[in-house]
């Protein structure tokens, strides 16, 4: 008896539920062969960074275990995607290849070529929209161009995009579905784990902080809805609270689809309470909209006048920022949170990005590169938009002259210093009135708290007020 066989080419969609490529392949073909291909050189200048690779390692293991329970093999290969897809298609006698669309410029171009080559070889290709709530070229301004400002984009999105309901789990099990056995690499052979990358297990604290995989993603979503979603608008700016969902890496790796999140929130909360959270999901859509229309923005400023900005290029201050040794506690807490957990709270991302680009006048691309390597949710669309927003050079950006004061922001969003105390333990015994700016504390208070400035905690590396003036002068030189 012969079966029709479908190959499902998986990537950032390691889930069984609401996975259109997997679902439709399982509906159409008797035999489904899911394949993951590790081909970092195909990502152009942006292959996944260190923390992303660690996440991917565990995400693949979790997904493989889910498939194994259904007696399905996840074929894992390493090498040029087209070559491997053609080889698998031939050896399994595949009629069609299914995948969910990818949206970064380099992968879009690659996938288009692969589609043509497969079709030329007589293999059908089916692609699906799954990673976003809308297709990036779809929304246009009245004059037909892309949006540069979020609010009208969001209004148009609300008016015209109807987010379809998520699909159920792909119907993969059943007696008539023998899983084809193909040669496959163990996940450990891909070199993604921290040990494989550097010989040092630098990621143990990241692993401790997260549970990776589809089941964990669904549990996190359910938990967020039960405990924090209702107060999201009030709590989302306070980094010491569990006020946000922390779904970003799960969304990035496709352990959860944005449709699942959108519908779960919309179902569980009155629309006015759900709206602030749905709006954040729409920022994610906006970032893909921008990346689609402005594919050079991961490295070039959207506002071209910023190309002439007189950035500084000294590596030492960059290094201090990266290591969380600037002497500004909220900045250092954020950078240490990033290093320890692979994630940083959004409010603090905004503050550290402002500090790097404005107080230190270091190019935003340096900050984006560090985030790229250290964030578990590192994502070309969101990271680019976030950094260009902070530097003032992007769409709907924070105007350059609006420069965050790291002390008053800290007082406002971490009033008791709980976030600082967690990530900068050397300051833990300082009273709240001094923890945001330890250099203002009288010597006796510092002594009592065990803080030795310049010894166990640095002096501030710049004076914010002076740095602000310098940045504004540089900005004025542009106009
Ligand atoms: C300089 C800078 C760099 C950033 N880099 C990234 C990145 O590489 N990857 C990334 O996913 N996000 C990035 N962000 C956006 C944001 O900080 C994170 O999405 C958010 O902190 C993730 O936490 P959460 O899941 O708890 O968010 P929640 O507040 O619970 O929001 C839910 C989801 O909405 C989306 N979202 C929320 N805020 C934003 C935003 N401002 N822009 C786009 N999408 C958003 C995310 O997918 C998030 O998971 C960056 C922001 C800045 C300022």
| Average pLDDT of every residue of the chain | 95
The arithmetic mean of pLDDT across residues 224-237, rounded, is 95
The arithmetic mean of pLDDT across residues 11-19, rounded, is 97
Index of the ligand 1 atom closest to the CA of residue 286: 43
- Do 275 and 376 share a structural domain? no
Over the stretch 348-382, which tens digit does the pLDDT of each residue have?
A: 999 999 999 999 999 999 999 999 999 999 999 99
Query: Which of 43, 262, 304 has the alpha carbon at shortest distance from 134?
Result: 262
Residue burial 294-317, b: 16+ Cβ < 10 Å; e: rest: beebbeebbbeebeebebeeeeeb
Q: Which residues line ligand 1 (CB under 6 A)?
A: 236, 244-248, 251-252, 280-281, 283-284, 287, 346, 349-350, 353, 371, 375, 377-379, 382-383, 386-387, 390
Query: Which of 33, 16, 3, 36 has the alpha carbon at shortest distance from 180?
Result: 33
Over the stretch 427-470, which tens digit does the pLDDT of each residue have?
A: 999 999 999 999 999 999 999 999 999 999 999 999 999 999 99
Query: Does the pTM of the predicted model rise above 0.95?
Result: yes
Helix (H) or strand (E) holding 358: none
- Do 154 and 77 share a structural domain? no
- Do 121 and 57 share a structural domain? yes
- The packing angle between helices 346-354 and 380-391, to 10°, is 50
- Do 437 and 375 share a structural domain? yes
As for how many domains the chain has, the answer is 3
Helix (H) or strand (E) holding 452: none
For residue 479, the model assigns a pLDDT of 66
Over the stretch 136-192, which tens digit does the pLDDT of each residue have?
A: 999 999 999 999 999 999 999 999 999 999 999 999 876 455 566 788 999 999 999
Q: Which domain holds residue 437?
A: 304-476
Mutation test residue for ligand 1: of 386, 389, 393, the one with most atoms within 8 Å of CB? 386
Q: Domain holding 4: CATH number?
A: 3.40.50.620
- Do 286 and 360 share a structural domain? no
Over the stretch 287-330, which tens digit does the pLDDT of each residue have?
A: 999 999 999 999 999 999 999 999 998 899 999 999 999 999 99
CA distance 407 to 390: 17
Q: Are 163 and 259 in contact (CB under 8 A)?
A: yes
Structural tokens at position 259: 């449709």
The arithmetic mean of pLDDT across residues 242-250, rounded, is 97
Q: Are 478 and 309 in contact (CB under 8 A)?
A: yes
When mean pLDDT is compared across 42-56, 165-179, 193-207, the lowest value belongs to 165-179
Q: Are 53 and 165 in contact (CB under 8 A)?
A: no
Domain boundary among 293, 317, 352: 293
Is the pLDDT assigned to residue 2 strictly greater than 60? no
The arithmetic mean of pLDDT across residues 334-348, rounded, is 98
Q: Domain holding 271: CATH number?
A: 1.25.40.80
């Amino acid at each position: 008896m012969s079966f029709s066989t479908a190959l499902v080419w998986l990537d950032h969609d390691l889930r069984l539920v609401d996975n259109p490529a997997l679902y439709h392949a399982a509906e159409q073909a008797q035999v489904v062969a899911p394949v993951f291909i590790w081909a970092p050189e195909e990502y152009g200048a942006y292959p996944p960074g260190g923390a992303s690779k660690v996440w991917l390692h565990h995400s693949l293991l979790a997904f493989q275990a889910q498939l194994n329970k259904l007696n399905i093999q996840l074929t894992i290969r390493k090498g040029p995607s087209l070559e491997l897809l053609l080889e698998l298609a031939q050896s399994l006698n595949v009629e069609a290849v299914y995948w969910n669309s990818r949206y970064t410029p380099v992968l879009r171009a690659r996938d288009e070529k692969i589609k043509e080559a497969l079709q030329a070889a007589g293999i059908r290709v089916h692609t699906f929209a799954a990673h976003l709530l809308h297709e990036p070229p779809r929304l246009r301004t009245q004059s037909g161009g892309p949006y540069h400002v979020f609010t009208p984009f969001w209004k148009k999105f609300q008016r015209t995009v109807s987010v379809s309901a998520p699909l159920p789990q792909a119907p993969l099990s059943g007696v008539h579905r023998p899983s084809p056995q193909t040669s496959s690499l163990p996940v450990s052979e891909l070199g993604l784990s921290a040990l494989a990358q550097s010989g040092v297990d630098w990621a143990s604290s990241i692993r401790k902080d997260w549970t990776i995989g589809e089941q964990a993603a669904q549990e996190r979503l359910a938990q967020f809805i039960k405990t924090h979603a209702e107060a999201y608008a009030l709590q989302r700016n306070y980094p010491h609270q569990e006020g946000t969902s922390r779904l970003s890496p799960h969304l990035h790796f496709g352990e959860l689809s944005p449709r699942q999140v959108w519908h779960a929130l919309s179902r569980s909360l009155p629309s006015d309470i759900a709206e602030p959270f749905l709006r954040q999901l729409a920022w994610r859509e906006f970032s893909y909209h921008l990346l689609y229309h402005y594919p050079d923005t991961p490295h070039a400023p959207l506002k071209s006048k910023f190309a002439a900005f007189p950035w500084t290029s000294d590596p030492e201050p960059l290094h201090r920022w990266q290591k969380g040794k600037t002497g500004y506690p909220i900045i250092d807490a954020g950078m240490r949170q990033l290093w320890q957990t692979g994630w940083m709270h959004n409010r603090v991302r905004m503050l550290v990005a402002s500090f790097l680009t404005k107080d230190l006048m270091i190019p935003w691309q340096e900050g984006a590169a560090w985030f790229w390597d250290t964030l578990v949710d590192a994502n070309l669309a969101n990271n680019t938009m976030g950094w260009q927003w902070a530097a003032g050079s992007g769409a709907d950006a924070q105007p350059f002259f609006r420069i965050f004061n790291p002390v008053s922001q800290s007082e406002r969003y971490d009033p008791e210093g709980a976030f600082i105390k967690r990530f900068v333990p050397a300051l833990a015994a300082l009273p709240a009135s001094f923890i945001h700016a330890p250099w203002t504390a009288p010597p006796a208070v510092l002594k009592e708290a065990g803080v030795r400035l310049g010894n166990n905690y640095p002096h501030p590396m710049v004076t914010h007020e002076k740095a602000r003036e310098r940045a504004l002068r540089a900005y004025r030189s542009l106009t």
